[in-house]
Structure 1
Amino acid sequence: MRYSTASPPAVVAACLSDLPSATSGRIVIVVDASVLAVALGDDASDGRLARERLADETLAAPELIDLEVVSVWRRQVAAKRMPARRAASAVADLTNLPLRRSSHQPLLHRVWELQHVLTAYDAAYVALAEALDIVLVTADARLSRASGTHCEIEVVSAISDC
């Protein structure tokens, strides 16, 4: 089976069913853990830049984003780059964020097709953006250079790697 740039209707329908506001007239973007962890967990200039980019957008992501973002903060706390109290506050913010979380199950075939160029986690974000034909916003420049992707990938470039 070959993947075409047009997502199968069943995949699009499954993803859209998790995104009730996708047709509300507001622009929807897929956001990945690299930019969301900074937006919610960094009070300095990188965090401000990420928050400015995501402001007034309807955010969508595969449901795995919560675990990935919390994992980033756990590593930062362990490395003493983020106070545990600040991380706990960021977890509360993540819990309350009006982020449209989509099941990754309808995306698994496309995730597998991208196995040679992306991790399964990164491929889930790409597959969702492809299925919905919307931009993926990331702080991971490597992701934007991956071959074989069929979506626009915007890198918030001034953000340091997390």
Structure 2
Amino acid sequence: MADPGVMPGDGPVGIVLDCSVVVDLLGSTEAPELLSRLPVDAVWHAPVLLATEVVSAARGLMLGGRVSSDRACAMVAAFDDLGITLWSPDRAQSLHALDLAENLTAYDAAYVVLAEGLDLPLVTRDRRLAAAVGGRVQVLSV
């Protein structure tokens, strides 16, 4: 059986990362193990809203007492170092995300629409999102 993270073709493997994966890469003690479960040399992609979601997640962790203020700031500062290619949706993609409103939030739909448009797998730690995708894209649950 082929590795589900390996895409056919000559170029590097590409994946779309959702916020659950990125926040754990930035702030979890499990980050090295999580990183080892991602395809080697993968090019990382995400919708531009990921940057704001990372700030929101760091804020929530800080206000919930799970990380210090300094750690939350370090998570946000380290986000740019991950080298994720951020994509802004065009009108058609935004309308397509709205079409998915019955099963997905607008935020989750942005990741699915990007994965569809780039024909790449979506990598998530969000079981609800993985279940709601409904076969639209390949999902790698890490």
Smaller-chain TM-score range?
A: 0.7 to 0.9
| Structure 2: distance between partners of 1:34 and 1:71 | 12
Q: Within 5 Å, give how 1:29-108 maps onto structure 2.
A: 29-42=15-28, 44-45=29-30, 47-54=31-38, 56-106=41-91, 107-108=93-94
**What is the aligned partner in structure 1 of residue 4 from structure 2?**
none
| 1:24 Cα deviation after fit | 8.1
Whole-Å Cα distance in 2 between the matches of residues 72 and 37 of structure 1?
7
Q: What is the count of residue pairs matched by the alignment?
A: 132
Distance, in Å, in 1 between the alignment partners of 2:42 and 2:50 is 17
Matched, 1:146 2:132: yes
Query: Match of 1:56, SS?
Result: coil
> 5+ unaligned residues in a row in structure 2: which ranges?
1-8
> How far is 1:138 from its partner?
0.4
TM-score by length of 1: 0.75
- 1:5 aligns with none
Instruction: Indicate yes or no: 2:108 matched with 1:111.
Output: no
Identity %: 38
State TM-score, norm by structure 2.
0.85
* Aligned partners of 2:97 and 2:113 also within 8 Å: yes
